[in-house]
Amino acid sequence: MRILGLKTIRLGTYADGYHRTMRGVFVIARFSTLALLGAVALGGPIAARAQATMPTAQMTDSPCAPPAPRPPQEMISAMLKPGAKMPPMPPQGDEKLREYLKKHAEDMARDFADLCHYKTDNAALLKGTRPTAVFMGDSITEAWGLGDASLFTLGVVDRGISGQTSPQMLLRFYQDVVALHPKAVHIMAGTNDVAGNTGPSSPDDFKNNIRAMVDLARANHIQVVLASILPAERFPWRPDIQPVEQIRQLNAWLRQLADQRKLIYADYYSSLATPSGAFRPELSNDGVHPNSDGYGAMRPIADAALRKTIR
């Protein structure tokens, strides 16, 4: 096993890119909708799912709805600018929240894994040069590709989707990773599993999903980087959950799996966490997502992982 991490933090200064979430909430939602709403309690989306109008069931060459508009720049800046104040969470009776819950339930019924998210991008990529590495993950990964664009050069592509859990990533792993024929994949998952974004699950469910993604990658001769789950003392959208110990335990298991399978383990957690297991406040505005300084602290670890695999 090769463990990549830093004892000292090198903080980078990055131009504000754009981020597909706000308020640190990536509750199984697409980027543009979350940026407009801010934060949503998990119980709402799960309850709304049962009320969704089921789409017509049929196979078609064009199953994807038109893409949603991008969020306002001020919402993006609030997430990435160090020290910026995050927008307040909307009240449960908020009209935009109700609209979101309805739209979200419909989207989940139509495309649980969000296979449409990168379908067009993948088709274009397959017409050109084979990518060298794919970063698979949730909003932390999705924002990384936009907030630190220089990492995603020389054939490194971002396939993060806001709010996703490991079962959703597994469902789209072939389309968004294997079919692109990269040399390596960087897998970062677990925050939303701990938060219960797609409903109850067990640690073994998470572990099996990670094992399955690793097996798919290695069966197709793709090198694997397993990333640690980033620290979090609380989730703004699930204040009832105390995630610190669960994250520590899952990270210990990820490290062990990397050792057993001779994978690269990218230890971001150690560089970002306080002794209590919280996200270092100067590196995150909401305690869950890195700001630009947080991504700057992560960058050397990611670069080291890529050097071990593709560079």
Q: How far apart are CA 118 and CA 177, in angstroms?
A: 11
CATH of the domain at 123: 3.40.50.1110
List, for residues 71-128, the tens digit of each pLDDT value.
666 667 788 989 988 877 777 778 877 887 788 788 888 899 999 999 999 999 999 9
In 96-206, DSSP assigns E strands to: 133-137, 156-160, 184-187
Using CA atoms, how far residue 131 sits from 78, 87, 177, 217, in Å, is 31, 37, 10, 14
The radius of gyration of the chain from alpha carbons, rounded to an integer in Å, stands at 18
pLDDT digits (tens, 9 = 90+) for 190-202: 999 999 999 999 9
Q: What percent of the chain has pLDDT over 70?
A: 78
C-alpha–C-alpha distance, residues 287 and 293, integer Å: 13
Looking at 110, 132, 155, the residue that finishes a domain is 110
| Residue listed under structure tokens 């910026």 | 84
Counted domains in the chain: 2
Residue 177 shares a structural domain with residue 255 = yes
Full domain range(s) for residue 46: 31-110
Q: Is the pLDDT score of 1 beyond 60?
A: no
Domain end among 44, 79, 110: 110
Asked whether residue 267 is assigned to any structural domain, the reply reads yes
- Residue reference for tokens 């697409």: 30
Helix (H, G, I), strand (E, B) or coil at 281: helix
Q: Decide: 248 and 48 in contact? Cβ < 8 Å.
A: no
- Residues 100 and 11 grouped into a single domain: no
Residues 136/308/155/114 CA torsion (nearest 10 deg): -10
140 and 199 share one domain: yes
Q: Which of 102, 104, 110, 98 is nearest to 54 (CA)?
A: 110
Tokens 């069966």: give the residue: 219
Same domain membership, residue 59 and residue 180: no
Residue 192 in domain: yes
Q: 256-294, pLDDT tens digit by residue? A: 999 999 999 999 999 999 999 999 999 999 999 999 999
Residue 25 lies in a domain: no
- Indicate left, alpha or beta for 87 from its phi (over 0: left) and psi (-120 to 50: alpha): beta
Which stretches does DSSP call E strand in 132-290? 133-137, 156-160, 184-187, 223-227, 264-266
Claim to verify: residue 57 and residue 197 sit in the same structural domain: no
